[in-house]
Amino acid sequence: MSEYQIIGTSAQRIDTLSKVTGDALFSADLSFPRMLVGKILRSPHPHARILNIDTSRARSLPGVKAVVVGKDTPGEKWGVFPYTRDQQMLQCEKVRYVGDEVAALAAVDEDTAVEALNLIRVEYEPLLAVFDPEAAMADDAPLIHEDHPGNINIHVPIEVGNVEAGFAESVLVVEDTFRAAEDSYFMAEPYAVTARFDPSGNLEIWCPNAGPHMKSKPLANALRLPLNKVKVRKIAIGGAFGGRSEVCPADFIAAFLSMKAKRPVKIVYTREENSTATRQGHALTAHIKTGVNQKGEVLAREMTTYLDGGAYSSTGPIAVSVPFLCMEQAYRIPNVRFNGYRIYTNKPIRGMIRIHGRAFSCGVDQQLDRIGRELGIDPVEMRLRNARVAGETTPTGSKVFSCGLKECIEKAAEKIGWKDAFGKLPPNHGIGIGVNSVQTGFPLGIRGGSQAVVKFNEDGGATLISGVADNGQGNDTMLVQIASEELGIPMNDIELISADTEVTPLDPGSYSMVSTYAGGQAVMLAARDAREQLFELAVEQLEANVRDLRAKDRRVFVEGSPDKGIPIHKLVRLSLLQGKPVLGQGAFAPKIDNRREWVSNPRGQLSQAFSFGATMALVRVDPETGQVTPLKVVAAQDCGFALNPRQVEIQFESGVAMGGQGGMLTEECIWSGGNLMNPDQLEYKVPLAPDMPPIDTIIVQSVDPGGPYGAKEAGMSIAMSAAQAYMSAICNATGVWYKTFPLTPERIVEGLEQRYRKKK
């Protein structure tokens, strides 16, 4: 029997009712009296100089309440890091992609706004544009940002050990180039932002976000407002997946228009804007060279990656590093060299996505499969021999305190029946494996820690205050579940206030997979602090020793003498009468190396904990059509401790859908010059429920020494390793080592045809 009452159970989500009744409001649902419709005029050119913007006709159209261009704004440039501040919220001199923000306006209704947009005249001088990283690096390529020669936005070099010696020692060295196109987040929710600026100087703003505090600071900077006047409010959010982490031009523009018009302004993105004017995943090319000894243990690996960054930096430095970091966590590599490049092109901005670098991780795993085949080692055994174990340190210096990777691999293999399947499947069937690891929080400086407050009502109910955001993954439920466990009152007795920059303390939100680890832990500590205060009051009332007290079922009682107790609401009333109301507070920041750099020589503890996952997939490939039918998927992840097993499983399942089914089979952006050719759901194919195979989930609990109850990140290791498992299974089914992803029917058929031609 578990030592816990509430955590560790699959408690119902606290947002279920509001979501199913439609009561939950998303940013696009908001409506305020006198609210205006905001619209953004975007560049039709991939690269051009702005010669003149004439807004006079738009301004004089009745119903238009504000028109703004770049020179009206304070002009602050945005970037995640000081050295990546390259994006203005409204462009003044140049546009750098088809969709770049040029002007914006607010009008009384949508029709007027659209009509006014058409009345703005912009004179451009078109410039040579470049759409391919390789072409962009050429000497004669046009420069997208003049201060970045070769259009190199970011270069992350990492070298540990002696790579040349490692290859020299190797019995087998393989070397390949892998490629993947851009992927899109395709959240259920369109991007929408509503801003309300009042005469007293308060900006209230509602928008999808991974953490409201990550929006408020850059907004305050860009608008030149003090932080306590920028109030990012809680709102239901329809998915983030890494795509709601930064401030975006629409946030700034809605706020700025509201300041100008002195009325609330709402901007809702069209489907096309959602696909082109928010950031999306990178296209990536990865050169990978791996050397192993006779036992298949990796001795050296060299990797060079090129990310097509699009027009601006966004979260580039992180996006360049993360695929490598995940792999250095998952697999032991004594000698390693990595050079990650992010290249500017005249395409929409790319950023982090839940499945970082498909081409990279799939490449690493495919090489292990190939090496295994050459050396006669089963793919599962290949992974086990190279798998990270607890107590080790990654090449860049992160100690791994907990690691259940081998258990994940073994349990998944058993569940899917690997031994009976691998090599013994009918024709056109394949089985594959993918392994990955994810950080549970990485350096965010002052914004990496979380703080929570618990206050009691006189009837014994409590209010919990936390800055954590819930993007759909169930964070709100997780926080309440933890507080319920610690306070000894039912979840229903706890009201959560979260994700509001005014009310809640600074918090990274669900950024960098840290919400449970930091946010959950802060809540645990705050609730314990409140409980200790209750216990102090109870000690006198019950004449008991504080160490013997327990809180459960709305009572504090003496362990072993459950009759000797007192209802919590009585203790609360006592505290109020004494003028010392119960108010618990807790704070937690992951113990990581905040001086660790992203770009130059990254060394030090990256994350206090890492999750590890293994996904295995069984597929059938139709050799005629190239159609892949996944038959079964097993997803096993070490999440430390499952605070809510059902929610953890849902994360695993959604990871398979996003990383495997979508990420490896169908999802890719198609371009014509700088124009995205498949911006909508009909052409960009996101998997639907009927597409999904049966999924078995396995929760491995390594109980991390630093996490709340041992918990760490849940689900993202699956999203990443699912792509690898699908790839591995398809290669196994077809006998073709595919190197360009996703594996659409066309690519599969083409690969089979090439092999057929070769054989002939």
Binding residues (CB under 8 A) for a second copy: these are 17-18, 21, 23, 31, 33, 198-201, 217, 220, 226-229, 445-447, 449, 451, 453, 455, 457-459, 461-463, 465, 492-495, 497, 502-503, 505-506, 573, 576-581, 583, 585, 587-589, 594
Minimal distance in Å, beta carbon 269 to a second copy? Answer: 22
Question: What is the C-alpha to C-alpha distance for residues 322 and 160, in angstroms, rounded to an integer?
Answer: 17
Cβ distance to a second copy smaller for residue 57 or 570: 570
Smallest distance from a second copy to CB 68, Å = 22
How is residue 488 written in tokens? 């000894």
* Least spacing, CB of residue 582 vs a second copy, in Å: 10
Token pair 């759409």 in the structure block, residue: 131
Of 552, 581, 671, 620, which Cα lies nearest the Cα of 308? 671
Burial string for 435-447 (b: 16+ CB within 10 Å, else e) reads: bbbbbbbbbbeeb
Q: Which is nearer to a second copy, 372 or 586 (CB)?
A: 586
| Helix axes 716-734 and 358-375, enclosed angle (nearest 10) | 50
CB 137 within 8 A of CB 150: yes
Tokens (6 digits) for 512: 């960098």
Residue 554 vs 564, nearer CB to a second copy:
554
Judged by CB, which is closer to a second copy: 432, or 448? Answer: 448
Q: How far apart are CA 137 and CA 304, in angstroms?
A: 15
| CA atoms 456, 457, 458, 460: torsion sign | negative
Q: Which is nearer to a second copy, 432 or 586 (CB)?
A: 586
CB of 105 vs a second copy, minimal distance in Å? 23
Q: Both tokens of residue 213?
A: 């505090």
Nearer to a second copy (CB atom), residue 502 or residue 750: 502
User: Which residues are paired to 455 by β-bridges?
Assistant: 463, 583
DSSP state of 280: E
* Cα 606 from Cα 591, distance rounded (Å): 9
**In whole angstroms, what is the distance from residue 81 CA to residue 49 CA?**
26
CA distance 515 to 212: 13
Q: Output the smallest distance, CB 138 to a second copy, in A.
A: 43
Q: Residue 136 or residue 465: which is nearer to a second copy going by CB?
A: 465
Shortest distance, position 223 Cβ to a second copy, whole Å:
13
Tell me the DSSP string of 348-390: --EE--SSTTHHHHHHHHHHHHHHHHHHT--HHHHHHHHB--T
CB of 452 to a second copy, least distance (A): 10
Closest by alpha carbon to 296, among 329, 338, 326, 331?
Answer: 331
**Least distance to a second copy from the beta carbon of 17, Å?**
5
Three state DSSP letters for 583-608: EEEEEECCCCCCCCCCCCCCCCCCCC
Closest CA to 216 of 263, 251, 261, 167: 251
For residue 549, the minimal CB distance to a second copy (Å) is 22
Least CB distance to a second copy at residue 639 (A): 23
- Spatial separation of the C-alpha atoms in residues 55 and 321, rounded to whole Å: 42
Q: Which is nearer to a second copy, 22 or 427 (CB)?
A: 22
Of 365 and 529, the one with the shorter C-beta distance to a second copy is 529
Chain CA centroid to CA 307, Å: 18
* Pair of tokens at residue 333: 């590599």
DSSP notation for 101-136 = EEEEEEESSHHHHHHHHHH-EEEEEE-----SHHHH
Work out how close the CB of 198 gets to a second copy at its nearest, in angstroms, rounded to a whole number.
5
Alpha-carbon distances, residue 331 vs 110, 613, 620 (angstroms): 53, 12, 28
Checking DSSP bridges between strand 87-88 and strand 77-78, what pairing results, if any?
Answer: antiparallel
Nearer of residues 450 and 732 to a second copy, judged by Cβ: 450
CB nearer a second copy, residue 506 or residue 749: 506
The vertex-611 CA angle with 163 and 240, nearest 5°, equals 110
Residue 21 CB, nearest distance to a second copy (Å)?
A: 4
CA distances from 262 to 54, 74, 200, 248, 258 (A): 23, 18, 11, 21, 5
> Considering beta carbons, is residue 226 or 426 the nearer one to a second copy?
226
Question: Taking the chain, what is the end-to-end CA distance rounded to the nearest angstrom?
Answer: 63
Residue 15 or 667: the one with the smaller Cβ distance to a second copy is 15
- Taking the least distance from each CB to a second copy, the nearer of 180 and 518 is 518
Closer residue to a second copy, CB minimum distance, 470 or 649: 470
CB of 200 to a second copy, least distance (A): 5
Give the residue from 218, 245, 248, 196 showing the smallest Cα distance to 89.
248
Q: How far is the CB of 589 from a second copy (least distance, A)?
A: 3
Report the alpha-carbon distance of residue 512 to residue 713 in Å, rounded: 9
Nearer residue to a second copy within complex by CB, 96 or 455: 455
Which of 426, 579 has the CB closer to a second copy? 579
What is d(CA 425, CA 335) in angstroms, rounded to the nearest whole number? 36
| Other C-beta atoms lying within 10 Å of the C-beta of residue 719 | 29
Smallest separation (angstroms) from a second copy to the CB of 446:
4
Distance CA 667, CA 678 (A): 10
Q: Which residues contact 760 (CB under 8 A, 6 or more apart)?
A: none
Residue 610 CB, nearest distance to a second copy (Å)? 19
In the complex, the smallest distance separating the C-beta of residue 458 from a second copy, rounded to whole angstroms, is 6
